[in-house]
A and B are shown apart, each in its own frame.
Chain A
Amino acid sequence: MTKMAKRQLKNERNLHKLFATHLPTVPMPADFAEHLVQSVLDEVALHTQNRPLNGEHRLLPTPKAAPRRRVSIKRPPQMMVVVLFCLYVSVLFLSNL
């Protein structure tokens, strides 16, 4: 370990000691702890009601998807396209006369 790393480690230790000395950890007040546990358990119960856990939700039948409506785009028959094209060409031809 380099000298600098040793010094850094020592500083870290001193800072931990400094905070532990001046900022003691106090326990939560007993009545609040009790209230906290109860509110957490209420939340857990609420959450459990809303969402089955432990993979139970995987055992539920998969809801069937609504039948898909098939929408097809009707294309004009090829013959119709040919006829229209011929009409267009003839109109162009006649207009040039």
Chain B
Amino acid sequence: MGRMSSTGWSEEELIRRLKANDPEAWAEFATGEYTTRLYNYLRHKVPDYQDVEDILQETMKAAVQAIQTFDGKVKLSTFLFSLANYKVADFWRRRQETTELTDIHVDPGMSDESVEFMEVLHRLRDEHRQVLLMRYYVGLGVDEIARILGKTYKGAESLLSRARAELRSALGPDGDSTDKELA
């Protein structure tokens, strides 16, 4: 993820403004690229849109409270996704459900192949789906994923490798044409 601000602020400048509680910066952050990506990521983590919106709202409020302690040693996206992950965990704890997510969000106009791909993705182990979404959907780096999940770099790499293997196996030999070159 590159520059995230439509106002042209660098990440450092945005962080400085967020820490100063600049309303313009917070409004920008709340509707910016990271938040939009987080919104999309959450759509694959919780059952319905209302839950997605509730968690996103809780995450942003937590970000307002936590930004003063943010030391800038990690990217803003890592900070935001870490907070969101706690909120998702809280959500499932509140629900007292240990079952994996079964409903998928199918957008109107999605092709059959895409619906099929989503179904395959949702059949994967939760942690595998999570790590694949973070890496290939949100575009987070392995180092960021490691920090968010509280793992070492090697641990995150190994998890990603297992997740790729499960996806490859779930897609099968007749899977999507774009997957044919997956080793």
Contact = CB atoms under 8 A, between A and B. Distances in A.
Interface of A is mostly: helix
Sorting the interface of chain B by its residue count into under 10, 10 to 19, 20 to 34 or 35 or more gives: 35 or more
Interface stretch (A29-37, A66-74, A76-84, A88-96): A29-37
Contacts of A27: 36
B165 to A, nearest CB: 11
A15 interface: yes
Contact of B182 (A14, A19, A36): A14
A27 to B, nearest CB: 6
B114 A39 contact: no
B181 A44 contact: no
A83 to B, nearest CB: 62
15 contacts: A11-B181, A11-B183, A14-B178, A14-B179, A15-B182, A22-B118, A23-B44, A23-B117, A26-B107, A28-B36, A33-B31, A39-B57, A41-B27, A47-B64, A53-B20
A48 interface: yes
A19 B23 CA distance: 34
Interface residues of A, number: 33
Nearest to A8: B183
Contact of B53 (A10, A32, A44): A32
Interface of B: 19-21, 23, 26-27, 29-31, 35-37, 39-40, 43-44, 53, 56-57, 60-61, 64-65, 68, 107, 113-114, 117-118, 121, 132-133, 135-137, 139, 164, 176, 178-179, 181-183
A28 B31 contact: yes
Contacts of A11: 164, 181-183
Contact of B61 (A10, A24, A43): A43
A11 to B, nearest CB: 5
A18 B114 contact: no
Contact of B40 (A26, A35, A54): A26
Given A11-B182, A53-B20, A40 B26 contact: yes
